[in-house]
Amino acid sequence: MFFGANIAEGFRDPGFGTAVEWDVPLLEGYDHEFLPALASGEITSVRPLNWGIGRRLKQGAFDVLWVHGYTRLASLSGILAAKRLGLKVMVRDEANGGAPRRSVARAGARRLFYAALTRMADAFLAIGTLNREYYRRLGIAADRIFSVPYAVDNAFFRERAIYAGRRREELRRELGLTAGRAVILFSGKLVPRKGPMLLAEAYQQLSRDGRSEPEPYLLFAGDGELRGAIEKMAADLGWRSMRVLGFRNQTALPAFYDLCDVFVMPSVVEPWGLVVNEAMNAGRAVIVSDLAGCSPDLVRDGVNGFIFKAGDVADLSRVLRATLTDPQRRTEMGLRSLEIIARWSFEEDVRGLRAALDI
């Protein structure tokens, strides 16, 4: 059962600035139901406002309510309804404490909120190390926190990346990329918190003299409010090596992960960053900021990629050079990415869920 917005059939994503219709089935393989909602439209803390959750929980043979996020009004109403009916509540959220510092009053209010949430929730499902540490700082007991990592369908991305590898040079020709030149890839929304302009500026520093194109290409697979600024920068420099490819759907992305030599996620605010999981399944070196939620779990600095200081153009440029100047090391990093991501999968999710259900 779902309460929230039904985005499986398509929606307008304000970050990408475009209508999105997923090209993979999101609801196949299990029974599902969407509760009716009022005030639908853009998703906020109060929209959509679902109704009937208490009655539906009472009618069904439910044992557990699993809530993804807890700041929306619909989620909180679901938790309250479940506790009235004596159902177990499991909470999963992305919070990791990486948000800007709050005032003393807001921090105190947050602690009171979590104190109440702790009494209502039976288990907290940690998506990674930083998320677990955040729960612990809030006073949640370690034996009530279970590892249910943020994972992607590894088989989906790995199999499609292998298939894409057979036509890699064909894709190069379609994009007009010169053979032999390395490719840096960004995939995501072109919005400030994702740091695409930071990457563009770091890429400029790869130029030998500040005027000539850097040797590698820089490709942005995404769309959003900063697209125009990136394209203007490339045009002003006269560089065709820096390009925005526009939004790419799930089935198209593995070909771009396979095409690239290094994947970069330069976010200044990033609860996790599932695109890193996806790129690692293509066996690629990855570069992420130290504010990325996935950094302590998926990136071994200097082993399968690099972690740089968020917002630091010079530091990002440094690790880009370190990755791009040694092809053999870059290949070894990609192999290590495959090894690491193989142990961060749905299998670990299932084990964590079973442990949480047993409490």
Can you list the domains of the chain with their CATH numbers? 11-152+346-357 (3.40.50), 154-342 (3.40.50.2000)
Q: Does this model's pTM top 0.85?
A: yes
Residue 159's pLDDT is 97
Place of tokens 């125009």: 228
Residue 114's pLDDT is 79
Residue 112's pLDDT is 82
**For 270, phi and psi rounded to 5 degrees?**
-155, 100
Residue 6's pLDDT is 52
Grouping H, G, I as helix, E, B as strand and the rest as coil, residue 79 is helix
Non-local (6+) Cβ contacts of 218 within 8 A are 184, 186, 199, 200, 203, 241, 242, 243
**Residues of the chain whose pLDDT is less than 50?**
none
